[in-house]
Amino acid sequence: MINDETGDVGVDLLTCDGGFAVDGDENFQEELLRQLVLDQFLMGLMVIRQGGAFVCKIFDAFTPVTVALLYILYREFDRISIVKPYTSRPANSERYAARSRAVAWDNESAGQWRSANAWAPWVRAATAMW
């Protein structure tokens, strides 16, 4: 829908701040929220226009899945920062992965990320390591 409405160009900025309560399971927050973070990253790669920016909440980076997702974004964006906001409680594991200036890609390479099948080998490999 977003690509249809933008003439398949995409958006300049996408922010993703998903999460849910994990009371009592804080040590497993990254694993419990894995699917949500994966979906947010996939959405980012699907709708960000060339030169666009993406900010997404992550929780630590201990699991192979999170590391694999960060590596994918390292390949697709010029600049990557992982930031812990000053207003975030020190004990909270939330961080924000901020990316800017999406690398120029042609329609074929952009299309590969827009297919869920393109993610399958990365996620399988990362999950197998875990």
Q: Considering the entire predicted model, what is its pTM?
A: 0.74
pLDDT grade for 55, boundaries at 50, 70 and 90? very high
Computed from CA positions of residues 110, 116, 121, 125, in that sequence, does the dihedral angle turn out positive or negative?
A: positive
Architecture of domain 2-124: 3-Layer(aba) Sandwich (3.40)
Residue 57 in this model has a pLDDT that exceeds 80: yes
Confidence grade of residue 123 (pLDDT, cut at 50, 70, 90): low
> What pLDDT, in 10s, does the model give residues 61-96?
888 888 888 888 887 788 888 898 888 888 888 888
Residue 53, beta-bridge partner list: 13
- Report domain extents, the chain: 2-124
Query: What letter represents residue 86's amino acid?
Result: Y
CA proximity to 95, closest of 83, 109, 107, 111: 83
CA-to-CA distance for 88 and 5, rounded, in angstroms? 35
